[in-house]
Amino acid sequence: MRHRVVGRKLKRTASHRRSLLRSLSTELIRHKRITTTEAKAKEASRFVEGLISKARRAWNAEKEGGAMNLHARRIVGRDIQDKGVLRELFSSVAEKVADRPGGYTRVIRIGQRNGDAAEMAVLELVDYNLDRDESAVRSRSKNLMSRSERVRRSQEKQKKQEAEAVVAEVEESVVVDEVEEIEEVVAEVEATEEVETAEEAEAAEEVAEEAPAEEATNEASEESAPDDSTSEDDKKEGGE
């Protein structure tokens, strides 16, 4: 039974587990952000927050005029065995979290790992990732604004398309009416031209029919004219 047993064994012995937590804490202080399994991230968060609290209390005491707290450095140095990381912890990191009474780290779940489907998480120092948080908030707000802007633009585009469709229908109806009127006028003109052409053809036929008759009449009159002159001459000779 595991009643009142705090922490996770992580399938390791005590020495191996402590060595793992020391390594994770050192890398977290060095890089301010690490990716590991969710169980390891939660255990490392508990472990490293105790170390940061010791460094913060020592830095605040030294800031008020106290002597350098070598004891705190030795205690933390048993777990943070990299001297550069230990120096950074008691200087910049402690100064960064001086006004924060706990909650120095944050665990963010990021899904399952490919292969064994282990739950993965990001362990990070909160004060060193505020810029990242602000950028994430800005990006989310930008996405929301862009989404609303896209909706607005799509609505405007739809309204514009509807208006263009109405205008196109009106223009098409007007064009159709104009075309019909033009076709009617053209048909009337063509009909008038056909009538005039028919009348002209009839008149030409009549003229053509009358022309031979006139020619025959003229010829007959010309033939009868010499006979008349001859008879008149005969009459004159008889009178003499």
Please report whether residue 195 resides in a domain: no
Please report whether residue 154 resides in a domain: no
Q: 65 or 53: which carries more pLDDT confidence?
A: 53
pLDDT at residue 18 in the model: 96
pLDDT at residue 139 in the model: 62
Please report whether residue 76 resides in a domain: yes
Please report whether residue 60 resides in a domain: yes
> DSSP code of 98?
T
**Of the ranges 60-64, 144-148, 182-186, 205-209, which is most confident?**
60-64
**Residue written as token pair 């405007």:** 156
Distance separating alpha carbons of residues 33 and 129, to the nearest angstrom:
8
Q: Band of the pLDDT at 237, cuts 50, 70, 90?
A: low
Please report whether residue 149 resides in a domain: no
Please report whether residue 101 resides in a domain: yes
The helix-helix angle for 70-77 and 38-63 (nearest 10°) equals 170
The enclosing domain of 79 has a CATH number of 3.90.1030.10
Range of the domain at 31: 14-126
**Residue written as token pair 């933390």:** 76
For residue 163, pLDDT beyond 70 = yes
- Per the structure, the count of domains in the chain is 1
On average, the pLDDT of the chain sits at 82
Helix (H, G, I), strand (E, B) or coil at 36: strand
Please report whether residue 103 resides in a domain: yes
Please report whether residue 240 resides in a domain: no
- The pTM of the whole model exceeds 0.75: no
